[in-house]
């Protein structure tokens, strides 16, 4: 469970970034027609005001941060890398093959014990079955056209 931390560095950094975003929105809205610009400007104004108040509260030490709730950052990073790699491989290998590779990589990332041969074989069978079933369902029943790539 997350607990409150004394200083809110994350809140401060985000608020500064959001202040910059609101400035960028104002600048972008200059090039829009009046009808298209009125709503973004209004929201950017609210965003800027809220960000300034949050910055002030953070600097005065009146804003409590969120403590790290533990866990492996390496594995978290690996999940993002696996998802990005999965997406990048789809046009190259094809949706089904890339999904099989992504499924196996994600399973390996989430596994904490030693892989026995039996467990590994079972997992591979399940990965094949899951990808084949869902790919088949979407491509044949739901008529979703998947990118083919080098394989399938």
Partner 1 sequence: MDTLPHLLAALTPFNLLLAIGGVVAGTIIGALPGLTATMAIAILTPLTFGIPPASALVALGAIYTGAIYGGSYSAILINTPGTPSAIATTFDGYPMAKRGDGDLALTLANFASVGGGLVGALFLLLLAPPLAQFALAFGPVEYFWLAMLGLTLVSALSDGSLLKGIIGCCIGLLISMSGSAIVGGDIRFTFDSQALLGGVNVVVALIGLFCVPVLIDLVATPDAHLKVGSVLRGFRLREALGITWAGKWNLARSSVIGTVIGVLPAAGGAIASLVAYAEARRASGTPERFGQGEPDGVIATESANNATVGAGFIPTLTLGIPGTPPDAVILGALLVHGVRTGPNLFSEQSQIVYTFMFGLLIATVLMLPIGLLLGRYAFRTVIAVPKYVLAPMIGLMTILGTYAIQNSLDDVAVMLGLGVGAWVLGRAGFGAAPIVLGVVLGPIAEQGFVQAWLIGGATDERFETFFMRPIAATIIVAAAIVAIYPVLAKRLKARVRNSENG
Q: Which of residues 23-42 bind partner 1 (CB under 8 A)?
A: 25, 28, 32-33, 35-40, 42
In the DSSP assignment, the letter for residue 147 is -
Q: By CB under 8 A, tell whether 65 contacts partner 1.
A: yes
Assign 60 to helix, strand or coil. coil
Q: By CB under 8 A, tell whether 149 contacts partner 1.
A: no
- Tokens 């994350």 identify what position? 10
In the DSSP assignment, the letter for residue 61 is T
User: Which lies closer to partner 1 via its Cβ, residue 59 or residue 126?
Assistant: 126
Q: Which of 16, 20, 90, 151 binds partner 1 (CB under 8 A)?
A: 90
Query: How many residues sit close enough to partner 1 to count as binding (CB under 8 A)?
Result: 76
Check: CB of residue 86 under 8 Å from CB of residue 98. yes
Provide the token pair at 92: 């190259």
Q: By CB under 8 A, tell whether 18 contacts partner 1.
A: yes
Q: How far is the CB of 78 from partner 1 (least distance, A)?
A: 8
């Amino acid at each position: 469970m997350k607990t409150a931390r004394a200083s809110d560095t994350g809140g401060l950094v985000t608020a500064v970034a959001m202040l910059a975003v609101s400035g960028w929105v104002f600048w972008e809205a200059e090039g829009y027609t009046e009808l298209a610009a009125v709503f973004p400007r209004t929201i950017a104004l609210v965003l800027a005001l809220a960000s300034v108040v949050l910055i002030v509260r953070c600097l005065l030490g009146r804003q409590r941060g969120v403590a790290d709730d533990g866990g492996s950052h390496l594995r978290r990073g690996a999940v993002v890398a696996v998802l990005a790699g999965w997406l990048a491989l789809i046009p190259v290998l094809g949706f089904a093959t890339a999904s099989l590779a992504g499924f196996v990589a994600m399973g390996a990332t989430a596994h904490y014990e030693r892989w026995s041969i039996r467990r590994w074989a079972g997992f591979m069978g399940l990965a094949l079955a899951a990808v084949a079933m869902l790919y088949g369902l979407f491509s044949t029943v739901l008529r979703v056209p998947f990118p083919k790539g080098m394989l399938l």
